[in-house]
Amino acid sequence: MPRGGRLARISAHNIQLNRHILDCGSTVELCELIEAHMEEFDPVNFATAFRKLLLSRRDGVPRGVAERVSQALEAAALQRMDAFQGREIATILHIMAKTRYRPWDPALVPRLEGQLEALAGTLTAQDVANTLWAYATMGREPGAGLMRVMEGRAEALAGTFTAQDVANTLWAYATMGREPGVGLMRVMEWRSEALAGTFTAQNVANTLWAYATMGREPGAGMMRVMEGQAEALAGTFNAQGVANTLWAYATLGR
């Protein structure tokens, strides 16, 4: 069979596998599918399976089954790490952070990081923001190499960041106790000002909190549009958002 035809068949098979993973109606069914077909998974299947499994309910699942499948997924992913692309790695890191998942194998995150550093040039704005958010949420410190390439990528993609991406990126830097370079801060501020009307109450609160935590003073234009958006969304702020916003104003001396 010509190589192209074989690749097309594999791709179609993995697309079908992804659908089956997403369609699993219970955690038991999902675990059975993963154990039966894990050797056939491509990187997208791995990312989808990790996400589905970590978000699944454990009611009615025999003790130890989900844990065994998680360990097996980690081991298989490590074996095939060289095939992973940036999007799949960003997805896995994000869902691990969101669910407060602690890998069984301590080598998993460092291997994901090494692969991601090599692939940084392929990341989208959302991939960058989600990865930085994931590290900050997990309380992990990315290596200097990864931070350097992620910052460069963020600066290059600033024009495609959404309000959520901006807020998550700034919040991540502040939470990790890092200060972005002048170039990144300049484009993040420009993007914040341009997107202010699309910020949610949480985006506004997290952005202002990040500036105050980093000891940075937003420009007059950004503060004006952020304040206008906060006023327009006042009825949607939760208690934490109100507290973070007021704390930011006080810390900034405003």
185 assigned to some structural domain:
yes
**Quick one: pLDDT at residue 8?**
44
22 assigned to some structural domain:
no
59 assigned to some structural domain:
no
- Long-range CB contact pairs, 26-35, < 8 A, 24+: 26/60, 27/53, 27/56, 27/57, 27/58, 27/59, 27/60, 27/61, 27/66, 28/60, 28/61, 28/62, 28/65, 30/56, 31/61, 31/65, 31/66, 31/69, 34/69, 34/72, 34/73, 35/69, 35/72
241 assigned to some structural domain:
yes
138 assigned to some structural domain:
no
The domain tally of the chain equals 1
209 assigned to some structural domain:
yes
Angle in degrees, CA 92, 84, 169, rounded to 5: 45
Angular region, 149: left φ>0, alpha ψ -120 to 50, beta rest: alpha
**Quick one: pLDDT at residue 60?**
81
Q: What is the pLDDT of residues 88-118, one digit of tens each?
A: 999 999 999 999 999 999 999 999 999 999 9
106 assigned to some structural domain:
no
**Quick one: pLDDT at residue 242?**
95
Q: Which residues of the chain have pLDDT under 70?
A: 1-10
166 assigned to some structural domain:
yes
What pTM was estimated for this model as a whole?
Answer: 0.89
- Which of 122, 191, 111 is closest to 155 using CA atoms? 191
- Which of 101, 8, 3, 85 is closest to 45 using CA atoms? 85
Q: Which domain holds residue 227?
A: 157-254
